[in-house]
């Protein structure tokens, strides 16, 4: 793909907790889940032979977008925030009960030097603060030719 892509996700993480209970209480189907101790499955790469088996160090419940062509990260963040925004009390109860942590993650893959806008609006900041969620932002800038010598 030749266009800049963005993926956003929200995760609830902890040592071990009942993923089904989180799904039921939030009334949201996660896009991904895993349990502490699960084997991490890596995509096959024909050029690299890696026989090391790695295991998940935590349990996770994740709500995510796919990678989407985008020049405005707000679009992906709103897609994640929309089903969650009225669920802060439930999330906080789960956090207390199971000693959980929350995080918003943004992954940006920039192509040809085109960078998307990255604006965190008040609604997102207030929600994140209400559940004490952190933000993690990963930027990948693929090489591009510059007109400047």
Provide the number of structural domains found in the chain.
1
Predicted confidence (pLDDT) per residue in 83-125, tens digit: 999 999 999 999 999 999 999 999 999 988 888 888 999 999 9
Strand (E) positions, 15-122?
32-34, 59-64, 68-69, 101-110
Given a contact cutoff of 8 angstroms between Cβ atoms, the answer to whether 84 and 25 are in contact is no
User: Which pLDDT band holds residue 46 (cuts at 50, 70, 90)?
Assistant: low
Predicted confidence (pLDDT) per residue in 21-41, tens digit: 999 999 999 999 999 999 988
Q: Which range of residues forms the domain containing residue 27?
A: 5-141
- pTM of this prediction? 0.86
The reply to whether 115 falls in a domain is: yes
User: Which pLDDT band holds residue 66 (cuts at 50, 70, 90)?
Assistant: very high
The reply to whether 81 falls in a domain is: yes
- Quick one: average pLDDT of 57-66? 97
User: Which pLDDT band holds residue 13 (cuts at 50, 70, 90)?
Assistant: very high
The reply to whether 147 falls in a domain is: no
Phi, psi of 60 (to 5 degrees): -145, 145
The reply to whether 148 falls in a domain is: no
Given a contact cutoff of 8 angstroms between Cβ atoms, the answer to whether 59 and 36 are in contact is yes
29 contacts: CB under 8 Å, gap ≥ 6: 23
> Does residue 80 carry a pLDDT above 70?
yes
User: Which pLDDT band holds residue 145 (cuts at 50, 70, 90)?
Assistant: low
The reply to whether 146 falls in a domain is: no
Of 76, 40, 78, 45, nearest to 57 by C-alpha is 40
User: Which pLDDT band holds residue 74 (cuts at 50, 70, 90)?
Assistant: very high
């Amino acid at each position: 793909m030749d266009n800049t892509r963005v993926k956003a996700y929200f995760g609830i993480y902890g040592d071990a907790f009942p993923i089904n209970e989180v799904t039921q209480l939030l009334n949201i189907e996660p896009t991904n889940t895993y349990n502490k101790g699960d084997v991490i499955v890596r995509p096959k790469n024909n050029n690299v032979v890696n026989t090391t088996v790695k295991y998940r160090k935590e349990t996770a419940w994740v709500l995510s977008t796919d990678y989407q062509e985008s020049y405005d990260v707000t679009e992906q963040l709103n897609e994640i925030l929309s089903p969650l925004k009225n669920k802060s009390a439930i999330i906080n109860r789960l956090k207390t009960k199971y000693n959980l942590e929350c995080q918003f993650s943004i992954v940006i893959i920039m192509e040809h030097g085109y960078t998307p806008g990255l604006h965190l609006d008040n609604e997102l900041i207030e929600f994140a603060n209400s559940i004490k969620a952190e933000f993690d932002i990963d930027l990948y800038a693929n090489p591009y030719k510059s007109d400047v010598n």
